[in-house]
Amino acid sequence: MNLNEVFEYELVIKECHLDSFGHVNNAIYVQLYEEARWDFITKNGFGLDVIQRDQVGPVILDLQVRFKREIKNREVIKIQSQTREILSSKMMVLEQKMINSDGKIASEAVFTVGFFDMKTRKLIEAHPSWLKAVGVSDNSGLKK
């Protein structure tokens, strides 16, 4: 179920992203996906300043990454991010895709994300401001 808008983040692959084969290192994919997530949640009012002030925010509970095509040095790519499913009032599934310069999917990742209280060290119900930050347009379908 697609609940929200697709967020896009564009970047240029640089030498520091590469492995000895001359393509993006597998661990860097996860880092770039995270960079894209920080970009859209910050733009939507839920950046690091809010997380540190309120002591609540997202945590990654699970991830799956698929590598489909090479991404090479100085290639311009797009990362598309979208909430795919609300699992409960505390957890959701976020899907991200890296699109290469030819417009083809180079990698896909699926993240299970929880909403975490840093004081109690437990998952809590997602705040409306967090749902807004990830672009969930209708939370009436939230599972409890």
What is the domain-level CATH number for residue 115? 3.10.129.10
Contacts with 53 (C-beta within 8 Å, 6 or more apart), sequence order: none
Contacts with 78 (C-beta within 8 Å, 6 or more apart), sequence order: 8, 9, 10, 98, 99
**Does a structural domain hold residue 143?**
no
**Does a structural domain hold residue 123?**
yes
**Does a structural domain hold residue 142?**
no
Kindly tell me if the per-residue pLDDT of 32 is higher than 80: yes
d(CA 109, CA 65): 4
**Does a structural domain hold residue 67?**
yes
**Rounded percentage of the chain residues whose pLDDT exceeds 90:** 89
Q: What is the residue range of 116's domain?
A: 7-137
- In tens, the pLDDT along 11-20 reads 999 999 999 9
Q: Which pLDDT score is estimated for 5?
A: 87
- In tens, the pLDDT along 51-97 reads 999 999 999 999 999 999 999 999 999 999 999 999 999 999 999 99
Q: CA angle 144-43-38, nearest 5°?
A: 70
What's the structural domain count of the chain? 1
